[in-house]
Amino acid sequence: MRLTVNSRQHDLDVEDEMPLLWVLRDVLGIHGPKYGCGIGQCGACTVHLDGVAVRSCQIAAADAVGAAITTIEGLGTPEAPHPVQTAWIVEQVAQCGYCQSGQIMQAASLLAEVPNPTDAEIDDAMSGNLCRCATYPRIRAAIRRASQSEDS
Amino acid sequence: MGAGKIARRGFLVGAAALGGGIAFGTYLYRRTPENPLRATLPSGSTVLTPYVMISAEGITLITPRADVGQGAASIQAHLLAEELDVDPAKVQLDPGPASPVYYNGKVAAEGMPLAAWDSRWLAQTGRSASDVAGKLIGLHLTGGSTTVPDTYERLRAAGASARETLKAAAAGEMGVAVDQLRTEDGQVIGPDGSTRAYSDLIEALRDTPVVQDVPLRAPEQWVRLGRKHQRTDIVPKSTGTFRYGVDLTLPNMIHATVVTNPVRGGGLRRMDTRAAEAMRGVEAVVAITDGAAVLADNDWRAMEAARAIEVEWDGGGPDTDALWQTHADAMTDDNRDSRFADDGNVETAPGAPVTAEYRVPFLHHAPLEPANATVLYQPERTEVWTATQAPRFVAQAVARITGQDAEVVTVHALPAGGSFGHRLEDEWVRQAAEIAVQRPGRPIRLTWSREQDMTHGFLRPMALARGHGTVQDKRVRSLDLSIAAQSVAESQLGRAGMPSFGPDVAIVAAAWDAPYAIPDRRVTGYRVRAMVPVSSWRSVGASHNGFFHECFLDELIHAAGADPVEERLRLLHDDPSRKVLETVADMANWAGPAGARGVAFVYSFGVPVAQICEVRDTDGGIVIDKLWIAAEVGRVLDPVNIEAQLSGGALFGLGHAISSEITLTDGSTDQTNFHDYESLRIWQTPKVEVRVLESGGPIRGAGEPGLPPAAPALANAIFAATGTRLREMPFAKTLRFA
Ligand code: FES
Ligand code: FES
């Protein structure tokens, strides 16, 4: 099957039902998306499918064929971070950092859809992303900061 | 990563003595342990310090305390950099090898019955004994919020010694006096403005004796510490480029996962692995302690095959319901473990009586990164890559399995995707080693599935407390608290093959030493005989005792008809403690008009912390609007991160208090993943405001002490809102939360 990840095409021989998360991590060596639960409960594996945040542990590889898959590596880089990543850096959100690829992908998807989310919209959009280190106050602050930077 | 890199090329500069002020002790204690980096350096190099390495490629700072997300690597780098004059963002960081050189001189004090507010001679002597003990046994360990207190002087001294040695080397080369030189950004600068990069001084360093006992810069001179700065891991953690153990990829690596008995040592009745072995990508299913391991070509195939193994386990164990009775039965003289506080006479204290019983359940650490380890076994040498808070224990545990000397087991300590105490354990490392000896020459990367991780926790003990007290003349007159729990020290040291002696302070920590001058006051610990493997969970005994003590005190204060803040202030006999309580009351405008609020104060890990929580009782359930936190840590080194640690600790405490519990049926954990082991989510998170006081007293760490006051502040606020006293966690069992 052919998958398009971060604008690059990959021809792969994997099981149709292999979750996209594991294709990314173990077949393509793209390690930004993380395994936290495997059952759609934590959001650590969040990537974009055609710009929309999804849990890659819940998407069968075959169902991602034809879609533009974006991982955190495709969102921005240390040298050229995406505005959401810049906000995350300025607010120093991360503690252990394990959930943060997923948090950032979820937030980027929210802001693409709702450029100026209310507090309730932020909490609602981020509700499926677990942070065991409880960095939530800074996640909110970073989303607000990113939303303002896109305004200006 | 790890020692491998250091071994190839390097030159180490700095102080041969670690830290200063070692004034007494045995011969063995006085002798500086061998620098672990020396053994593996190329010939011709000289090794002078275990913390700073200079090579032609640049500078590497050694940060031996484990980074489990709390920012340990960054703060250690900043401590070194403040004296060494390098930019932490421009140097390499490396946790270094497992070695007694990196002993922790502070952590053993946590196991002693010493109240942190007690500055009398006996308590000070006890704390010094902790340093002796840590050094004697080479306790290379991270925990007990000791990273900052333990490395505060040691790393600055190493940085200063390295800087002055570099200057001495440069002085020789440049033909000028040392006092004409200064240092900046990894360079020595001469009087004429000419510069020498540190990494260009390697040759000159060979003949330069190490400059020792360099006076440390005063805090007023600091340019990094105490000021807002960026943690060294923030950019990689915001761009998906930070690497964890689960991401480690080595040539020819085998992906493994395990299926083991949910009751350790329980035995196996029947196992059928045929279906698993026939699945795509599966190389083999091999036997390990308590079960089997699947070896495959990727994690998912290994986990799918593990699910296809049919198994019936033997053995069994307790049910949680029955264990409550066991805890109640343990409150007898036979099981009395400690009575460190016994003032006045609680038996005869006058006043109106108040009694209450409290319960907290088992909890799992459940860091978001599942347990994992990579082991490469070769007959002459074994390498281990894993996140660990105790690398020497890991090396010894692996050596027992491979039949090798611990000296030939190299542990590359990796940063962890969370720990909360979990990475003090090493069961998964031992499992990876058991697999590795069956596949010499091939790296085995073992990753636990979330289900394996959730059902094989090393648990925060469940605990039961009974409070009895009296009130008189609008005052709290007496408080008698009895606490029954398993001993974490006994369980955890037992797993490492070590005995534990005497009472376990954790059973009563933060209760016996609560600095309240209540005329008749007694705290008794009862030891529940070990049945379930228990472990150090963020803030350890204080995680339950803060709740027990502060909720019961609150009940007494209400029965007395006094104000919860005023009466606590009246009772607190420790000045810094009163100060944090006054501060938090100020922040929350306690005296002014407000919603339903609760207050709690807990002194743990040397840090007095006061919190006020504000809640609303709505149609949808309890909403937590706000949490105010005030703490006193002596001195703040990283103002941004300390706020995150205190806030994170408190929110971790709130989340577990509301919704988390591990229950056992026949010894097996009932919860299997995050759907039935919930913790705080963003919509439940209150606004948090933190204020950190710096009295200039002993410097303290903030990873744990933010947690214990959170649950009682919430419970006390809920009482104010609803009139319901929450005496059992998780609170969601009793009340609905929005
Ligand atoms: S790993 Fe996909 S939601 Fe947790
Ligand atoms: S930063 Fe650790 S889980 Fe979110």
pLDDT in tens, B447-478: 999 999 999 999 999 999 999 999 999 999 99
Residue B152 pLDDT class (50, 70, 90 cuts) = very high
Q: Could you tell me the strand order of the sheet in which A68-70 lies?
A: A8-11, A2-5, A68-70, A46-49, A52-55
Question: Of B567, B534, B640, which Cα lies nearest the Cα of B232?
Answer: B640
Q: Among residues B656, B650, B620, which one has the least CA distance to residue B729? A: B656
Reply yes or no on whether the pLDDT at B377 is more than 60. Answer: yes
Phi, then psi, of A120 in degrees rounded to 5: -65, -40
Statement to judge: residues B253 and B176 lie in one domain: no
Ligand 1 environment, Cβ below 6 A: A 35-38, 40-45, 55, 57
- Looking at chain A, the whole-number percentage of residues with pLDDT higher than 70 is 98
Query: Does residue B235 form part of some domain?
Result: yes
Assess if residue B705 is contained within a domain: yes
* Interchain contact B231–A (C-beta under 8 A): yes
Q: Which residues of chain A have a CB within 8 Å of the CB of B416?
A: 96
pLDDT digits (tens, 9 = 90+) for A33-62: 999 999 999 999 999 999 999 999 999 999
Q: What is the pLDDT of residues A61-94, one digit of tens each?
A: 999 999 999 999 999 999 999 999 999 999 999 9
Least-confidence region, from A135-149, B35-49, B535-549, B629-643: B35-49
Q: In this model, does residue B24 exceed pLDDT 70?
A: no
Residue A58 CA, closest ligand 1 atom number:
2
Number of domains in chain B: 3
Whether residue B300 and residue A26 make contact (CB cut-off 8 A), yes or no, is yes
**Contact (CB<8Å) A100/B687:** no
State how far the Cα of B580 lies from the Cα of B577, in Å rounded to an integer. 5
Q: Is the CB of A136 under 6 A from ligand 2?
A: no
Interval A18-23 mean pLDDT: 98
Question: What confidence tens digit (pLDDT) does each residue in A87-120 have?
Answer: 999 999 999 999 999 999 999 999 999 999 999 9
* Confidence bin at B499 (pLDDT 50/70/90): confident
Burial class (CB in 10 A: 0-12, 13-18, 19+), B358: buried
- B420 and B405 share a domain? yes
Contacts of A41 in chain B (CB under 8 A): 673-675
Read off the pLDDT band of B48 (50, 70, 90): low
Contact A73 B368 (CB under 8 A): no
Q: Residues B416, B496: one domain?
A: no
Distance separating alpha carbons of residues B322 and B10, to the nearest angstrom: 59
Interface test with B, best of A14, A24, A132 (most B CBs within 10 A): A132
B415: containing domain: 245-315+371-447
Question: Which of A45-59, B158-172, B354-368 is predicted with the least confidence, judged by mean pLDDT?
Answer: B158-172
B673 contact A CB<8A: yes
Answer whether residue B122 shows pLDDT above 80.
no
Of the pLDDT bands very low, low, confident and very high (cuts 50, 70, 90), residue B12 is: very low
* Between residues A151 and B198, the one the model is more confident about: B198
Whether residue B269 has pLDDT greater than 60: yes
Residue showing tokens 């209540």: B518
Q: What is the DSSP string of B614-678?
A: EEEEETTEEEEEEEEEEEE-S--S-HHHHHHHHHHHHHHHHHHHHH--B-EETTEES--STTTS-
* Closest-approaching ligand to the CA atom of A57: 1
DSSP state of A55: E
CB contact under 8 Å between B233 and A94, yes or no, is yes
Q: Are B606 and B700 in contact (CB under 8 A)?
A: yes
Of the pLDDT bands very low, low, confident and very high (cuts 50, 70, 90), residue B39 is low
Smallest CA–CA distance from B653 into chain A, residue: A134
Is B197 a residue whose pLDDT tops 90?
Answer: yes
- Nearest Cα residue to B647 out of B620, B626, B670: B626
Within chain A, how many helices (H) and strands (E) appear? Answer: 6, 5
Q: Are residues B204 and B99 in the same domain?
A: yes
In a shared domain, residues B148 and B228: yes
- B96 and A CB contact within 8 Å: no
Residue B491: the pLDDT is 94
- Summarize the confidence of residues B723-730 as an average pLDDT: 98
Query: Is residue B73 classed as helix, strand or coil in its secondary structure?
Result: helix
- Shared domain for B51 and B152, answered yes or no, is yes
Q: Which of B234, B641, B644 sits opposite A89 (nearest CB)?
A: B234
Mean pLDDT of B56-64: 85
- Window 253-272 of B: residues touching A by CB (8 A cutoff) are 255
- Ligand 2 pocket, residue B418 CB under 6 Å: yes
**Cα-to-centroid distance, A6 and ligand 1 (Å):** 20
Q: Would you say the C-alpha torsion B547, B550, B553, B558 has a positive or negative sign? A: negative
Residue % of chain B over a pLDDT of 70: 93
Assess contact for B182 and B735: CB atoms under 8 A.
no
Residue B417 CA, ligand 2 centroid: distance in Å: 7
Chain B nearest CA to A26, separation (Å): 6
Token pair in block for residue A95: 């503690």
With vertex at residue B387, the alpha carbon angle to CA B386 and CA B392, rounded to the nearest 5 degrees, is 80
DSSP H/E element including A10: strand A8-11
Collapse the DSSP code of B391 into the 3-class scheme (helix H, G, I; strand E, B; otherwise coil) and give the result.
Answer: helix
**Ligand 2, atom nearest to A134 Cα:** 4
B689 pLDDT above the threshold of 60: yes
CB contact under 8 A, A35 and B246: yes
Sign of CA dihedral B177, B179, B184, B190: negative
Report the alpha-carbon distance of residue A40 to residue B40 in Å, rounded. Answer: 46
Query: In this predicted structure, what is the pLDDT of residue B33?
Result: 56
Write the DSSP symbol of residue B393.
H
The secondary element (H helix, E strand) that includes residue B195 is: strand B195-197
Six-digit token pair at B143? 């925990």
- Per residue, the 3-state secondary structure of B540-603, as one string, reads CCHHHHHHHHHHHHHHHHHHHCCCHHHHHHHHECCHHHHHHHHHHHHHCCCCCCCCEEEEEEEE
Residues B616 and B508 placed together within one structural domain of the fold: yes
Other C-beta atoms closer than 10 Å to the C-beta of B211 total 21
| Ligand 2 closest atom vs CA B417 | 2
Higher-pLDDT residue of B295, B38? B295
Residues B646 and B690: beta-carbon distance below 8 Å: yes
Structure tokens at B613: 């929580």
Mean per-residue pLDDT, B479-497: 93
H-run or E-run covering B464:
strand B463-472
Report pLDDT digits (tens) over B415-447: 999 999 999 999 999 999 999 999 999 999 999
Distance A24 CA to ligand 1 centre (A): 13
Q: Averaged over B396-401, what is the pLDDT?
A: 97
Q: Are residues B412 and B512 in the same domain?
A: no
Q: How far apart are CA B79 and CA B81, in angstroms?
A: 6
Could you give the angle at which helices B564-571 and B542-560 cross, rounded to 10 degrees? 110
Please check whether residue B227 touches A, CB under 8 A: no
Looking at the fold, whether B353 and B439 belong to one and the same domain comes out as: no
- Distance between CA atoms of residues B699 and B296, nearest Å: 49
B668 within a domain of the structure (yes/no): yes
Cβ-based contacts of A43 with chain B (< 8 Å): none
Residues 50-69 of B with CB under 8 A from A: 68-69
C-alpha dihedral, B479 to B480 to B486 to B487, nearest 10°: 80
**B563-581 pLDDT, tens digit each:** 999 999 999 999 999 999 9
Most ligand 2 atoms within 8 A of CB, residue of B368, B679, B682 to mutate: B368
The yes-or-no verdict on residue B262 having pLDDT over 70 is yes
- Interface touch A78/B368, C-beta < 8 Å: no
- Based on the domain organization, do B619 and B657 belong to the same domain? yes
Compute CA B351 distance to the chain's CA centroid, rounded to the nearest angstrom: 42
Distance B447 CA to ligand 2 centre (A): 19
Helices (H) and strands (E) in chain B, counts: 19, 26
Domain-located, residue B453: no
CA distance linking residue B646 with residue B644, whole number of Å: 6
Confidence of residue A151 (pLDDT cuts 50, 70, 90): low
- Hunting for tokens 């969601």 — which residue is that? B732
Is A28 a residue whose pLDDT tops 80? yes
Q: Which residues does A16 contact at the CB level (< 8 Å), separation at least 6?
A: A1, A60, A61, A62
B279 touches chain A (CB under 8 A): no
Say if CB B527 and CB B338 are below 8 A apart: no
Residue B643 vs residue B127, higher pLDDT = B643
Evaluate whether ipTM surpasses 0.90: yes
Taking the CA atoms of chain B, what radius of gyration do you get in angstroms?
Answer: 27
User: What pLDDT score does B632 carry?
Assistant: 98
Point out the least confidently predicted range of B147-156, B402-411, B493-502, B696-705.
B493-502
Interval B303-325 mean pLDDT? 95
Label residue B518 by pLDDT band (50, 70, 90). very high
User: How is residue B153 written in tokens?
Assistant: 């002087």
Inside any domain, residue B551: yes
Chain B positions in Cβ-Cβ contact with residue A25 (cut-off 8 Å)? 247, 299
Q: Which amino acid is at B122?
A: L
Residue B282: Cβ-neighbour burial (10 angstroms; 0-12, 13-18, 19+):
buried
The two tokens of residue A147 are: 């939303």
Nearest CA to ligand 2 atom 4: A131
**Mean pLDDT throughout B591-603?**
93
Q: What is the pLDDT of residue B332?
A: 97
Q: Does the distance separating the beta carbons of A122 and B682 come in below 8 Å?
A: yes
CA distance B74 to chain A (A): 11
**Whole-number pLDDT of residue B44:** 37
For residues B347 and B389, membership in a common domain is answered with no
Would you tell me how many other CB atoms lie within 10 Å of the CB of residue B191? 12
Size of interface A-B (CB pairs under 8 A): 179
Query: What percentage of chain B exceeds 90 in pLDDT?
Result: 79
Q: Cα separation of B307 and B301, whole Å? A: 10
- Using pLDDT thresholds of 50, 70 and 90, give the confidence band for residue B34: low
Q: To 5 degrees, how large is the angle CA B400–CA B401–CA B406?
A: 45
Chain A residue closest in CA terms to B255: A26
Q: Is the pLDDT of residue B40 over 80?
A: no
Which of B399, B420, B447 lies at the terminal end of a domain, its last residue? B447
How many other CB atoms are there within 10 angstroms of residue B310's CB atom? 11
B564 and B691 together in one domain: yes
Cβ distance A142 to A93 under 8 Å?
A: yes
CA distance A62 to chain B (A): 16
Select from B239, B269, B287 the last residue of a domain.
Answer: B239
The overall longest dimension of chain B from CA atoms, in Å, is 82
Domain A83-147: give its CATH architecture. Orthogonal Bundle (1.10)
| Residue B452 located in a structural domain | no
Is B236 within 8 Å of B242 (Cβ atoms)? Answer: yes
Which distant-in-sequence residues (6+ apart) come within 8 Å of B322 by Cβ?
none
Question: Tokens 């971060």 label which residue?
Answer: A6
Average pLDDT for B262-273: 94
Please give the helix or strand (H or E) that residue B476 lies within, else none: strand B475-486
Inspect the interface and report whether the beta carbons of A35 and B370 lie closer than 8 Å: yes
Give the model's pLDDT for residue B41. 55
Task: Tell me the Cα Rg of chain A.
Answer: 15
For residue B611, the cross-strand partners are B600, B629
Average pLDDT, chain B: 91
Ligand 2 center to residue B688 CA distance, Å?
17
Cα-based angle B522, B526, B531 (whole degrees, multiple of 5): 160
How far does Cα B454 stand from its chain's mean position? 19
- The residue among B396, B394, B397, B401 whose CA lies nearest residue B377 is B401
Residue B614: pLDDT above 60?
A: yes
Q: What is the pLDDT of residue B20?
A: 22
Domain A2-75 listed as CATH 3.30.390.50: no
Q: Does B681 touch chain A (CB under 8 A)?
A: yes
Confidence of residue B4 (pLDDT cuts 50, 70, 90): very low
Closest CA to B533 of B425, B419, B678, B397: B425
User: Residue B628: pLDDT band by 50, 70, 90 thresholds?
Assistant: very high
Q: Given the CA of residue B418, which atom of ligand 2 is nearest to it?
A: 2
| Amino acid B59: pLDDT | 87
* pLDDT score of B285 more than 50: yes
Distance from CA of residue A42 to its chain's centroid?
12
Q: What CATH code is carried by the domain that includes residue B698?
A: 3.30.365.10
CB contact under 8 A, B687 and A104: no
Domain boundaries, chain A: 2-75, 83-147
pLDDT beyond 60 at B23: no
Work out the average pLDDT over B133-143: 79
